Amino acid sequence: MASMLKPIQETPELSGKFAKDFVAEVLKKPSEAAIGRNKRAQSLLRSSLFR
């Protein structure tokens, strides 16, 4: 049973507008409203999972 190995692919380079958009998205901070929604969702999930 020989398994086929895929060749390792190069990491693509980021450049131009795509790179700028990507970096801008990574550096964004969530709003206070988004943080509150996430915390409420997290507590709801925790309370329903550990009953």
The 3-class SS string of 1-51 reads CCCCCCCCCCCCCCCHHHHHHHHHHHHCCCCHHHHHHHHHHHHHHHHHHCC
As given in the structure block, the two tokens for residue 20 are 């700028």
Q: Residue ranges of the domains in the chain?
A: 17-49
Assess whether pLDDT exceeds 80 at residue 6. Answer: yes
How many Å apart are CA 11 and CA 38, to the nearest integer? 32
Q: What is the pLDDT of residues 16-45, one digit of tens each?
A: 888 899 889 999 999 999 999 999 999 999
Rounded mean pLDDT of 10-21? 83
pTM for this structure? 0.46
